[in-house]
Amino acid sequence: MTESDRPVVTMSTLGRKGRFGNQIFQYAFLKIYAQVFGFRVETPEWIGQYLFGHKDPPITKKLPMILEEEQTNLQRIFSEAEPRYQNADFFGFYQFHTSYFVPYKDYFQSLFKPAPKINAQMEKGLNKLYSRGKTIVGLHIRRGDYKKYKNSDRKKVFFIAPTAWYKNWLNSIWPNLNDPVLFLSSDEIDVVAPDFSEYCPVVSRDLFDSFPKASFYPDFYLLTQCDAMAISNSTFSFTASMLNNKATAFVRPDIDFKKLIAYDPWDSLPLLNRFRSFY
């Protein structure tokens, strides 16, 4: 069988359905499925080609679309003896319990290593951060777009955790850390930073020159390099924690417990209290 004869799988909505954290899961699902069954992958243009150097060929023809919500036991699709789909266009979020991705952890992480030129820029910023301390504690606090869910049935998923929950956690660990430095990431950085003034937080604009093509990426990259992480109920920082092989502590807000709780990035649901129809 020649290369052109092999079945192909695509995701025509990649880069357009959901933000960066969603795209991480979508691309990982597509590539793992193709690797397991020996299929080719075709994709539209998306930011991962710039950040991670992916060179998948463009989509050559329209294929039957496979809707995630119409499938059963889709999280087990990688372990099936025969491919469930081929010559298909996947549509969905694919945010399974991460234990289903564990057999492919090394491959998953390899997909999202920054391309050499991007990595060189990121390492410069990381070195600047390490010049301020030896133990990096990273916080991600998502605010902006979550405000629109305040009065909707989605508010238990897309909720804004009080900064007090993060400060309580910081207060509990900070005295026992070796020369700690706080890295703070947020879509409303000027609003939340004053709440952490006693920790002298460092933000990405302190460390990097302008990164216009993907302004969010320096924050994401630094979260993957932290020694301890406190995230939001957000796939942006959750996927960063899946790529983080340094941290010894991972916590996230739980609206029912009203505090930050520990989690394992490779043995958890990506979002707490998620609805089946959207992740």
Which domains does the chain carry? 3-110 (no CATH), 116-262 (3.40.50.11350)
58 Cβ contact list (under 8 Å, min separation 6):
42, 43, 44, 45
Tell the residue number behind the tokens 């087990």, with chain if given: 76
Side chain identity at residue 205, one-letter code: R
The stretches of the chain forming alpha helices (DSSP H) are: 20-37, 47-52, 105-110, 116-130, 163-173, 189-192, 217-223, 235-242
Residue 122 clears pLDDT 80, i.e. is over it:
yes
List Cα–Cα distances, 210 to 34, 93, 147, 183, 207, in angstroms.
36, 30, 27, 18, 10
Helix then strand count (H, E) for the chain reads: 8, 9
Please give the pLDDT value at position 143. 81
Confidence label for 199 from pLDDT (cuts 50, 70 and 90): very high
Please give the pLDDT value at position 20. 97
Confidence label for 3 from pLDDT (cuts 50, 70 and 90): low
Please give the pLDDT value at position 69. 87
**Burial class for 98, CB neighbours closer than 10 Å (0-12, 13-18, 19+):** buried
Which of 50-64, 95-109, 131-145, 197-211 has the weakest average pLDDT?
131-145
The stretches of 38-182 forming alpha helices (DSSP H) are: 47-52, 105-110, 116-130, 163-173
Distance CA 52, CA 124 (A): 17
Please give the pLDDT value at position 71. 87
Please give the pLDDT value at position 145. 58
- pLDDT for 81-101, tens place per residue? 999 999 999 999 999 999 999
The answer to pTM > 0.85 is yes
